[in-house]
Amino acid sequence: MSETTPSVFSKIVAREIPADIVRESDDIIAFRDIQPQAPVHVLVVPKTAQYSQVSELAASDPALLAQMVSVAQDIAEEMCDGQFRLVFNSGEAAGQTVFHVHAHVLGGNLAEGSLAQR
């Protein structure tokens, strides 16, 4: 993907693609995943497309990463009694399909879902 081609997340931020938005601030947007892997599956995405992976974000803007974690916690408190997994996929081999940093908030009864503890 070229730098001039906006990601699907950039298109959601720009309201070019609809999403079921659950939280939004000046810096972050959070919306339900369209292919949920758990009863609660929300993506937390910084509005900037500057970072493709969490390690880049952590090195360059730790305050924005902290905001993402805080939003994830708030969503988990509201949707799954504060119990959740927070997953960042980094790289294609790790399952990352959109190269705009994002976190997956996974919650609900994971023991019964596809993400049961192993």
pTM of the predicted protein model: 0.89
The average pLDDT across 2-27 equals 92
* Integer Rg of the chain from CA: 14
The distance from CA 88 to its chain's CA centroid, rounded to whole angstroms, is 8
What's the confidence (pLDDT) of residue 111? 63
Residue type at 77?
A: E
Residue 14 pLDDT: 97
pLDDT digits (tens, 9 = 90+) for 60-115: 999 999 999 999 999 999 999 999 999 999 999 999 999 999 999 999 876 655 55
pLDDT in tens, 28-51: 999 999 999 999 999 999 999 999
Q: What pLDDT is recorded for position 112? A: 57
d(CA 30, CA 48): 13
What does the alpha-carbon distance between residue 116 and residue 5 come to, in Å, rounded to a whole number?
36
Do 72 and 105 meet the contact criterion of CB atoms below 8 Å apart? yes
Q: So what CATH class is 8-112?
A: alpha beta
Closest CA to 42 of 109, 108, 111: 108
Catalytic-role residue among 41, 100, 102, 104? 102
**What local confidence, expressed as pLDDT, does residue 3 receive?**
54
What 3-state DSSP class applies to 56? helix
Q: What is the DSSP string of 72-100?
A: HHHHHHHHHTT-EEEE---SGGGT--S-S
Is 104 designated active site?
Answer: no
Residue 15: its pLDDT value, please? 97
Q: Please report where in the chains the tokens 């879902």 appear, as a residue.
A: 113
